[in-house]
Amino acid sequence: MEVCNVSSHLETNVPEMVNNTFGQWVNRMKCYICAQQGKYSDAVGVCIVCGMGVCREHMIREETPVWDGSYPVRLKPDTEHIKRIICPPCHGALKENL
């Protein structure tokens, strides 16, 4: 998170800056896919696979197979039935490898 002092924020009035609970002005995380398309939407979630910030439009929230981190990759069914946030590229890769 990039932190700046309040006085510089007030001088520039950058709309992407918000005041956090510690009284610091910080940048909001933007949706990576929207940014590639020239749009600037706030991220509302983070992909559990790659860490990409995603907005509501690009977020996929569903039960995903579980990977224990070993190679070769062996995906197992989710026995806990927890809906997780995943980005479209990782979702496509998971579906391709089921």
pLDDT band (50, 70, 90) for residue 55: very high
Q: How far apart are CA 76 and CA 96, in angstroms?
A: 14
Which long-range contacts link 71-80 to residues 24+ away (Cβ below 8 Å)? 73/97
Backbone angles phi, psi at 93, to 5 degrees: -65, -40
Helix, strand, or coil (residue 10): helix
pLDDT at res. 73: 73
Average pLDDT taken over every residue of the chain: 80
Global confidence as pTM: 0.68
Q: Could you tell me which residues come within 8 angstroms of residue 37 by beta carbon, excluding any fewer than 6 positions away? A: none
pLDDT per residue over 4-34, tens digit each? 444 443 444 445 566 666 767 667 889 999 9
pLDDT at res. 1: 44
User: CA angle at residue 90 from 97 to 72, to 5 degrees?
Assistant: 40
